[in-house]
């Protein structure tokens, strides 16, 4: 007899970020240590910017968009007000895989 796998049946709120980012945000909202929470917020924001660049190549994923999406997905439990978050979002967007290859010099 075959056994069925248990799957997460909750719908994905924002498909452009995916279930993993949604689950990371839910986990970060449960953390008690503010330092761990802030560092996880920064990591999640990096992931969200990269995924947003892949999903929406024509639009720029600015700090306000990512911040609003994190607050929305966490139901207001995450605030994204750490200085590390601001420094990350001040960096220019760099899509993955579009870097020019350097030529070898012999």
- 19 versus 5: the higher-pLDDT residue is 19
Sign of CA dihedral 99, 103, 105, 106: positive
Summarize the confidence of residues 57-71 as an average pLDDT: 75
Report the SS3 class of residue 19: helix
Q: Give CA–CA dist 7/60, Å, rounded.
A: 33
- Per-residue pLDDT tens over the stretch 21-59: 899 999 999 999 989 998 898 899 888 888 877 777 666
Summarize the confidence of residues 57-63 as an average pLDDT: 64
- Of all residues in the chain, what percent carry a pLDDT higher than 70? 74
Residue 93 pLDDT class (50, 70, 90 cuts): low
pLDDT at 33: 92
- State the chain's mean pLDDT as an integer: 78
Residue 4 pLDDT class (50, 70, 90 cuts): confident
pLDDT at 100: 56
DSSP one-letter string for 26-94: HHHHH---HHHHHHHHHHHHHHHHHHHHHH-SSS---HHHHHHHHHHHTTT-----SHHHHHHHHSPP-
Q: Is the pLDDT of residue 1 over 70?
A: no
């Amino acid at each position: 007899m075959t056994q069925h796998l248990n799957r997460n049946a909750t719908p994905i709120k924002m498909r452009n970020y995916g279930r993993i980012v949604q689950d990371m945000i839910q986990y970060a909202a449960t953390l008690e240590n503010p330092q761990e929470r802030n560092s996880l917020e920064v990591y999640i924001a990096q992931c969200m910017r990269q995924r947003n660049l892949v999903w929406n190549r024509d639009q720029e994923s600015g700090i306000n968009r990512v911040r609003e999406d994190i607050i929305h997905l966490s139901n207001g439990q995450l605030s994204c007000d750490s200085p590390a978050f601001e420094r990350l979002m001040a960096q220019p967007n760099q899509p993955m895989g579009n870097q020019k290859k350097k030529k070898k010099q012999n």
